[in-house]
Amino acid sequence: MNYKIIALDDYYRKDIFRHFSDDCKCSFAVTARVDVTELKAFSKRTETSFYLNSLYVLTKALNSRDDYRYFYDYQTKQLRLYDKLNPRQYVFHEDTETITVVYSEYYEDYKTFYDNAKADLDKAKATHDYGLDEASHPNWFDASSFPWLSFDSMTVELPDGYLYFSPIVNWGKFREENGRLMMPVAIRLNHASADGFLAATFYRTLEKEIAQLCGKGVVE
């Protein structure tokens, strides 16, 4: 968990940060449909998991720039920039209709990430414990799939008093629209560290990462 402490006077968004952390604490959520036609075809062609492939490109997109990797420790009032952001994924247990939290580590190398994230999921399937441990995982973002529903909008309600900076990403069931497979992807960001431009940048980067993965195929 390598990070550096950012002096607020040196933070390029310092005035915006102060306004949305002191005067107007708030967050915002955006939902957009992402074309996953090629990602689905890639998953079928390579006999890999569409879910894990989605998790990879989402995580890689969030690691593309510093703004998504900030963490604010409200107890020490430290603004930290972590060297990477890892996904907190979930296992759904059909028998109890409950979930288990799964902490996976991000690796830029596709095959390394895929194999490790899959092993994490397989291990979590053996337990029905909730497994939440936020205190030991500050640079993990919430990555949750809703495979039962193709939603149009989603909002995650959190108290903004302690400035929760980690992105929260939810994605739903894809559906066919004009011959393409479109998947809803929602992202929640804190306004002290992000704005509409950064939300849009996330989606643009996500599209690029999907194209790059599908173009390269599986890394041997």
Q: What mean pLDDT is predicted for residues 29-40?
A: 97
pLDDT at 220 over 50: no
Confidence of residue 162 (pLDDT cuts 50, 70, 90): confident
Q: Which CATH architecture has domain 3-216?
A: 2-Layer Sandwich (3.30)
SS3 85: coil
pLDDT at 43 over 50: yes
pLDDT tens by residue, 58-114: 999 999 999 999 999 888 889 999 999 999 999 999 999 999 999 999 999 999 999
70-73 vs 78-82, strand pairing mode: antiparallel
Q: What's the token pair of residue 54? A: 């989605």
CA distance 61 to 219: 18
With beta carbons less than 8 A apart as the criterion, state whether 89 and 116 touch.
no
Q: Quote the pTM value.
A: 0.95
Q: Where are the alpha helices (DSSP H) in 79-195?
A: 110-124
180-190 vs 27-35, strand pairing mode: antiparallel
| Domain locations in the chain as residue ranges | 3-216
Higher pLDDT, 217 or 59: 59
